Chain A
Amino acid sequence: MTRAAVLLVVLVALLALLPWFVGAYALSVATLILYFAYTGQAWNVMMGFAGQLSLGHSLYVGVGAYVAGGIFFHWGIGPWAGLWLAIALCVLLGLVIGFLAFRFGISGVYFALLTIAFAEFTRIGFDHLGWTGGPGGMFLKVAQRDTWDIASFRGPPLMYYYSMLALAAGAFAVCHLLLRSKAGYYWQAIRENEDAAQALGINTFRWKMLAVAISAGMTAIAGVFFAFYYNNLFPEQIFNISRSIEIILGPIIGGLGTLFGPILGAAVLTLLSDGITELLIHFGWEIPGIKQVFYGVVLLAVVMFLPHGIWPALARRLRV
């Protein structure tokens, strides 16, 4: 086994045993880290692998959450059916956006702005739809927290923790396979030089579409999780551009295009955010906004001094 594989097995084992050693609060933080590791991994397929910058991934989280949450709320249809519907719809949505953008030759900054536009358009649209509850939000019936009811995805926080761990581990495995598949090599060729890739006979349109579809479908699953974990959905929150930015911070800070980057980035950013909160409470500096200012400063420092992210620098040290 390589060092990376050993590291991974140890990491998963530690995370599986974590609930025996920590309390409820730490478990919720760990769930959040895994959530961002998962969504970061999904976004990384599009940007890190295929080089297509999406700044609108909140679209897929939101649509996934509202589809699964909505049919549960209105018609009592459980999350397992909703999951497939959410994935199908988000893949379709991703394909439509991808088709429009790639057919018309939109790339780089323009593509990024197009993804923001679709997310914002949907946010405002959902604010004015009766079915979604509009700006007042949609509230799923709060779960009983005693038993694991996997069929309707209701249960104690521990259940959500383990499902998120399974999702994050699954996403890692999928991305590992993708990166070493034909698609993965084509994507990397497109990312490095699209014209050259095309000259080699790669149908760049088709492979970029595949990246968008996989990324959107994976993100939709996170949306379904979001709906049943938090139980309340507001368009203003779920589609907000700052949600999209949250998703992409992890992989960029951790290391774009790497497999460990999104996980490391999610952990660093979530712990940083919580650490700053604790520290500020400790010193009694509880002014609104001060936490985010510190967060911004750290972000600025990382971007300036570690341009390729934390993982590549760390990987050299660990020799993995």
Chain B
Amino acid sequence: MPAELVANVVIAGVLTGLVYGLMALGLSVIFGVVRVVNFAHGEMMTIAMYATTMLFAAHKVDPFVAVLPVAALFFVFGYALQKGFINPFITRPEHSQFMLLVAVAIIMVNALLMIFGPDARNVQVDYQLESFEIGKILIDKARLYAAGAAVLTAAALFVFFKKTLTGKAIRACADNYLGAKVVGLNVKHLYALTFGLGSICVAVAGCAMVLLVDVTPGLGPYYTLLAFVIVIVGGLGSMGGALLGGVLIGVSEALAGLFIVPSAKSMFSFGLLILVLLLRPQGLLGKKQT
């Protein structure tokens, strides 16, 4: 097998993996702060993808422009979802939270099926067929831009959590729920804010992903599982871990597709997940559980 081909596939895997990573980052941030596993994560991702295809079909809006209104809408939606539905469930047992989000996911997938039908949709922009050439290496333009958007969003979120007062307050809630309440932080508001920020990650990842794959309602559960795999591999609650996990899964999927059969690609992801859970349950970059 020629080396350029392998290199091309690995690069494509890394770039797709960064978009996966951003999606998983949303899940990780929400879990890290709210301690709720968002079982409707992939379904939210497909909603963002459909929103982008709709804006494109109606007004030829480029996905990288559509990302602004979609992300804003997702922030509001995420905030409301946390405030209205999930906040009352924070003190309930895990299986109860799980049921709540499964119900939300069922509604989302099937509402998409009702509205858009089962057929695949996509967007077609000029730069999807173009690529940068560096020697014998080809890099798809769309994939590179998508990965760029993912990295930018992740970086912005990172700066927000490190530098701003609100970001620090959210981290305080994550570190010590009771302590945060004692010093007078509005924990419920901050939780809702966090869910909104996690939703923005999903929205941006969705807008970028539309350039790379066709969207169907059935993609939702697949992305939910993918996001779980990535955050567990990278470390649930770790921001860098989510991106690293995304890249690892992206590359392993791409290589499995090249060397074995494409349909077996997620077997490697789940194999990796099982190994990580057994050997390093906190994930590659996760902190040890206490």
Interface residues of A (CB under 8 A from B): 47, 53, 55, 100-101, 104-106, 108-110, 112-114, 116-118, 120-121, 124-125, 127-128, 135, 241-242, 245, 248-249, 252, 256, 287-293, 295-297, 299-300, 303-304, 307
Contacts and interface: CB of A to CB of B under 8 A. Distances in A.
B278 A128 contact: no
Contacts of B99: 249, 252, 299, 303
A239 B217 CA distance: 20
B104 A252 contact: no
A296 B106 contact: yes
Contacts of A242: 221
A114 B277 contact: yes
A289 B113 contact: yes
Chain B at the A interface: mostly helix, strand, loop or mixed? helix
B65 interface: no
Interface string B90-113: 001011101110111111011111
Given A104-B281, A113-B232, A245-B102, A293 B114 contact: yes
A117 B106 contact: no
Given A108-B94, A117-B229, A289-B110, 16 more contacts: A101-B277, A105-B281, A110-B281, A113-B273, A116-B228, A118-B270, A287-B114, A292-B109, A292-B113, A293-B106, A293-B107, A293-B110, A296-B106, A300-B85, A300-B107, A304-B85
A117 B277 contact: yes
Given A53-B95, A241-B225, A307-B96, A109 B114 contact: no
Given A120-B225, A256-B95, A299-B103, A292 B110 contact: yes
A245 B95 CA distance: 11
Interface in B258-276: 261, 263-264, 266-267, 270-271, 273-274
Interface in B38-64: none
Interface string B273-288: 1100110010000000
A121 B107 contact: no
A95 to B, nearest CB: 15
B103 A106 contact: no
B255 interface: no
Given A252-B99, A293-B111, A121 B94 contact: no
Interface string B106-134: 11011111100110000000000000000
B37 interface: yes
A289 B270 contact: no
B269 to A, nearest CB: 9
Contacts of A296: 103-107, 110
Interface in B72-101: 85, 88, 92, 94-96, 98-100
A241 B106 contact: no
Nearest to A245: B102
A120 B266 contact: yes
Contacts of A303: 96, 99-100, 103
Contacts of A241: 221, 225
Interface in B231-265: 232, 236, 261, 263-264
B266 A124 contact: yes
